[in-house]
């Protein structure tokens, strides 16, 4: 619950308080460490484990600037993460890049690729029909160069024994985050105090 001075709203209210320095110097330091050499292999990783390096570290220090009058308190935290994101995708095979669609899923016939230039109306049914490309192969001169350039941006499969889920990748997500705080307190008297904080 928060006081009336913060207004009324359905969202979250976060109240932050920071430490003040004292007449004696005090400090802390910490480190959180994680490394893929200490982890088990993820089921989806394939033969190699994904990369995972994480370091979260920091310190705090407080003390007097002028005894009984002015104090400081400072803190810093850094976080560096390199995380491999295991991704299993389906990409066109090397034959598909050439316009050859003769491969099929196990137990299923190969998909039929029809020639859009042969579209016509079947006089007996009134439906649109087309002729398939011979051998399920699109001739090289019929492949649009822009479409071919876009297709060539896709990687080749890493697994050649299947059509679906044939590309395994572990792109690395990089996160570097740094935070710091500094607070200065000054006591003018027992009744008058002032502090400033920057984060």
pLDDT score, position 1 = 65
Helix (H) or strand (E) holding 195: strand 193-198
Ramachandran angles phi, psi of 53, nearest 5°: -130, 125
Q: How far apart are CA 69 and CA 153, in angstroms?
A: 66
Vertex 148 angle, CA 147 and 153, to 5°? 100
Q: Is the pTM of this model over 0.85?
A: no
Q: Where are the beta strands (DSSP E) in 19-138?
A: 26-35, 52-66, 70-84, 87-89, 120-121, 128-129
pLDDT at position 162, please?
Answer: 86
Q: Residue 18: its pLDDT value, please?
A: 84
pLDDT tens for the chain, 199 residues long, are 677 777 776 677 777 788 888 899 999 999 999 998 888 887 777 777 788 899 999 999 999 999 999 999 999 999 999 988 888 899 999 999 999 988 887 777 778 899 999 999 999 999 999 999 999 999 999 999 999 999 999 999 988 888 888 998 888 899 999 999 999 999 999 899 999 999 9
C-beta of residue 155 within 8 angstroms of C-beta of residue 167: yes
């Amino acid at each position: 619950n928060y006081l009336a001075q913060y207004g009324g709203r359905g969202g979250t209210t976060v109240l932050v308080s920071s430490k003040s320095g004292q007449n004696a110097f005090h400090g802390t330091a910490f480190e959180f460490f994680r490394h893929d050499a200490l982890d088990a292999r993820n089921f989806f990783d394939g033969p190699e484990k994904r990369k995972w390096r994480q370091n979260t570290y920091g310190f705090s220090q407080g003390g007097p600037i002028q005894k009984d009058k002015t104090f400081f308190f400072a803190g810093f935290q850094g976080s560096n993460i390199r995380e491999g994101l295991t991704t299993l995708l389906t990409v066109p095979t090397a034959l598909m890049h050439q316009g050859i669609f003769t491969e099929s899923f196990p137990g299923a016939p190969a998909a039929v690729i029809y020639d859009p230039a042969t579209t016509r109306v079947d006089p007996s049914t009134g439906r649109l029909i087309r002729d398939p490309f011979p051998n399920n192969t699109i001739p090289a001169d019929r492949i649009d160069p822009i479409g071919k350039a876009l297709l060539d941006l896709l990687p080749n499969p890493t697994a050649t024994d299947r059509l679906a889920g044939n590309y395994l990748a572990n792109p690395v997500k990089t996160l570097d985050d740094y935070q710091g705080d500094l607070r200065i307190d000054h006591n003018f008297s027992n009744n008058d105090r002032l502090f400033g904080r920057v984060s």
